[in-house]
Amino acid sequence: MSHLEIWISIIGMTLVTVVTRALFLMAGEHVTVPDRIQRALRYAPAAALAAIILPEFLSFEGHFSFSPTNDKLMAGIAATACYLLTKRMVGMIVVGMGVYTALRLLG
């Protein structure tokens, strides 16, 4: 790529980012978001987190794996079970990392 193409790409990505993130701020009170959409947006952070973490849990040696030999998946299941039983985030992290470390050392 030439220097001009790089700068055009940077400026274009900046404009797209600013417009999409600041659209509601720029519009002010002229635009009202329906209640249905506001309720749906409450789930966006959880959906984004799942979209980032789930592929990592399910990948093993370069492909998707649901087998018990997948250490990350087993640690994720243990951490999820711990959270569902105790509702403690720190406990979930400790259990997940403990199970993952133990499986890595034993395997």
Q: pLDDT (tens digit, 9 = 90+) per residue, 46-68?
A: 898 889 988 888 888 888 888 88
Cβ neighbours, 10 Å, residue 33: 10
In a domain, 10, yes or no: no
In a domain, 9, yes or no: no
In a domain, 83, yes or no: yes
Given a cut of 90, is residue 38 above it in pLDDT? no
In a domain, 41, yes or no: no
Domain extent for 89: 49-106
The whole-number average pLDDT for the span 93-99 is: 97
pLDDT score for 85: 97
The count of domains in the chain is 1
In a domain, 89, yes or no: yes
State pTM to two decimals: 0.60
Core vs surface per residue 57-95: b (16+ CB within 10 A) or e: beeeeeeeeeeeebbbbbbbebbeebbeeeeeeeebeeb
Going by the DSSP 8-state scheme, the letter that residue 1 receives in this structure is -
- What confidence tens digit (pLDDT) does each residue in 26-37 have? 777 777 878 998
Highest average pLDDT, of 16-20, 24-28, 43-47, 79-83, comes from 79-83
